[in-house]
Structure 1
Amino acid sequence: MSKQRQTDESQVQSEQENQAATDEQVEQQTQETEQVAEGAEAAADEAQGDERVAELERKLSVLAHDLAQEKDKALRVAADAENAKRRAALEVEKARNFALEKFAGELLSVIDNLERALQTIDKEDEAQAKIAEGIEMTHKGFISTIEKFGMEVLDPQGQPFNPQLHEAMGMQEHAELPPNTVLYVMQKGYLLNGRLLRPAMVMVTKAASA
């Protein structure tokens, strides 16, 4: 009876040891499984994070491209507006200059007539001298007016001949003046804001024959 009991106890102890080993193995496998699961979850989170970063980078790239396009459009619009403004200013300036040139051209014939009238008047005659005085005042008034609008009189008598500003109507020998000197002015010229409105018609000297 005693031997049977010992045998039973040994069997129970063996079973308990086997159960303990099995439980330990199961626990170890469970821990390993949990570690694998945690690693897989971390990897999944990391992969998902990488996908999110990639998506954000793609959106950022699209936004940067759109921003560059809008900036380029804004620059083009600003440039077009500036060019339109410049063209409008040029057109206004051209129209102003054209109107001023036309107005000045009409005045020149009046001034020429006044100057011719002064040349024909005998200032020694008292009656004509009074007329000449009135004509001179009118002439000075015209000259003062056109100068306010940027006109400048070209009266180059005694100056070197300048083909850019003068028109030679003929040449005369002269012993005292150097060649290519304006001997006298047949008709005065005019500048308008630095541009030639009408050249001065002049007689030019040339070297005297030997």
Structure 2
Amino acid sequence: MTSASDDIDHVGDRTTAPIEPIFDPSSADPRHAKIFTLEASLAEMRERWVRSEADNANIRTRAKRDVDDGRRYAIEKFALDVVETAENLRRALDRLPQVSDQEPDNIAGVRAGLVETERGFIALLERHGIKRLDPIGAAFDPNFHQAVAEQGVDNEAPGTILQTLSPTWTLNGRLLRAAMVIIAKAATHEHRPPS
């Protein structure tokens, strides 16, 4: 027979089988009935304890995941504002006149400064998990792209992204802002009957 301390040592072992009654409850001895009742109560308490431990482990795991997600995505609203600034910087670069040999030095200097500023700003964003993806030529994915128009073309498969009005932005791999895109559709050739 095992001692009470041996039973306590094995309580933490989740593989422990439930306690099976040693005594027959129909026995005439009232002590046997009491022992049977206590063993059944112990088995029930052990089962509740094991379930409670499992629930606590699940709660700890869930809480850790929530805290990790909170840390990782807490800057989401700020990131959206920063992304808007990055897009404004890109729009400023796109609005500069085309590079030419007769370009004044001040325009060339502004262009070079804006290009370097954008490069550094995008690198800063990427260090903090914010990435810009330009999907031109990729297949349309409604999870990352928002089609604003379709254009009939012969040389591209339907659903191919032809033009990006704004890029896809992600925060640690999760979508922050979908790209606004124009996608290809099959060109329709109108056949007019000869007149």
TM-superposition CA deviations, 1:14-66 (whole Å, max 9, x none):
xxxxxxxxxxxxxxxxxxxxxxxxxxxxxxxxxxxxxxx93553343234223
Q: Which has the higher contact order (CA 8 A, sep 6+)?
A: 2
CA, structure 1 residues 113+86, in 2 after alignment: closer, same or farther (shift >3 Å)? same
1:203 counterpart = 2:182: yes
1:182 counterpart = 2:161: yes
Q: CA RMSD in A?
A: 2.5
TM-superposition CA deviations, 1:143-188 (whole Å, max 9, x none):
2232233333221112222222211121223333333221111111
Query: What is residue 163 of structure 1 aligned with on the other side?
Result: 142
Of residues 36, 41, 54 in structure 2, which corresponds to 1:79? Answer: 54
CA, structure 1 residues 81+178, in 2 after alignment: closer, same or farther (shift >3 Å)? closer
Letter in 1 for 2:159: N
1:152 counterpart = 2:131: yes
CA apart distance, 1:200:
0.8
- Distance in 2, Cα, partners of 1:152 & 1:144: 9
Superposed counterparts of 1:53-72, under 5 Å: 54=29, 57-72=32-47
- Distance in 1, Cα, partners of 2:59 & 2:155: 58
Of residues 93, 100, 109 in structure 1, which corresponds to 2:84? Answer: 109
Q: Secondary structure at the match of 2:36?
A: helix
Q: Is the 8 A contact 2:134 2:168 kept in 1?
A: yes
CA, structure 1 residues 62+178, in 2 after alignment: closer, same or farther (shift >3 Å)? closer
TM, length-normalised to structure 1: 0.64
Gapped regions of structure 1 (runs ≥ 5) = 1-52
- Distance in 2, Cα, partners of 1:113 & 1:192: 19
- Distance in 2, Cα, partners of 1:209 & 1:63: 83
Q: Is the 8 A contact 1:121 1:129 kept in 2?
A: no
- Distance in 2, Cα, partners of 1:197 & 1:166: 11
Query: What is residue 116 of structure 2 aligned with on the other side?
Result: 137
1:128 counterpart = 2:107: yes
Q: Is the 8 A contact 2:147 2:180 kept in 1?
A: yes
Q: Is the 8 A contact 1:173 1:205 kept in 2?
A: yes
Q: Secondary structure at the match of 1:107?
A: helix
TM, length-normalised to structure 2: 0.68
Gapped regions of structure 2 (runs ≥ 5) = 1-27, 190-195
Greater helix percent: which structure? Answer: 1
Choose 102-111 or 177-186, whichever is displaced more: 177-186
Q: Secondary structure at the match of 1:177?
A: coil
Aligned residues: 158
Larger-gyration structure (1/2): 1
Percent of residue pairs bearing the same amino acid type: 35
